[in-house]
Amino acid sequence: MLASASPRRLDLLAQIGIVPDAVIPADIDETPLKGEPPRDYARRMASEKAAAVTSGAGGAVLAADTVVTAGRRILGKPEDEAEATAFLRLLSGRRHKVMTSVTLLHEGRARDRLVETTVRFRPLTAAEIAAYVATGDWRGKAGGYGIQGPAAAFAPWLQGSFTAVVGLPLAETAGLLASIGIRGQA
């Protein structure tokens, strides 16, 4: 069972031949705690999402959360175009971190992995930011961008996992699933 509303996570799982029995978005409060470090926040969100969705006997629940940070500042999903624009201005010309935490609940045991990727954005012009924001591609995406879409042109370099930036680190997720006997059809 996948505890996520993200179509990107479903698509990523399909790339490794995994089709969840069910997709049930977790309904939790995603507000960071005061002073909560980004890594702790990502881990807590993935864990809480997995716990919020129950599975049948012997079932497994997979949940993930992706956090974009500029320094210690967590950049969530922008509320509107103005916030998306502000996020992109902040990320322009600098490196930032993308942390994706994955939690797998199975038979009362939680297994998790946190994958951290560094992404560098080239300097962006006001016109480039406005054009990207006008596409609407930023909606529902941590940090206000999706690296798998038009914003790929903003990131000439990354160190870590591309699929983690998209929303689900496939190598680590496949390892977690294999640890409980779930393997995709290649």
- The CATH code that applies to domain 7-178 is 3.90.950.10
Q: Tell me, what's the pLDDT at 57?
A: 53
Stretch 76-92: mean pLDDT:
97
Q: Where are the domains of the chain?
A: 7-178
Q: What is the pTM of this model?
A: 0.92
Asked if pLDDT for residue 39 goes beyond 90, the answer is yes
Task: Give the residue numbers annotated as catalytic, written as ranges.
Answer: 65
Residue 184 pLDDT: 80
The phi, psi pair for 55, rounded to 5°, reads -120, 160
Is the predicted pLDDT of residue 168 greater than 60, yes or no? yes
- Contact assessment for residue 6 and residue 13, using Cβ atoms and an 8 Å cutoff: no
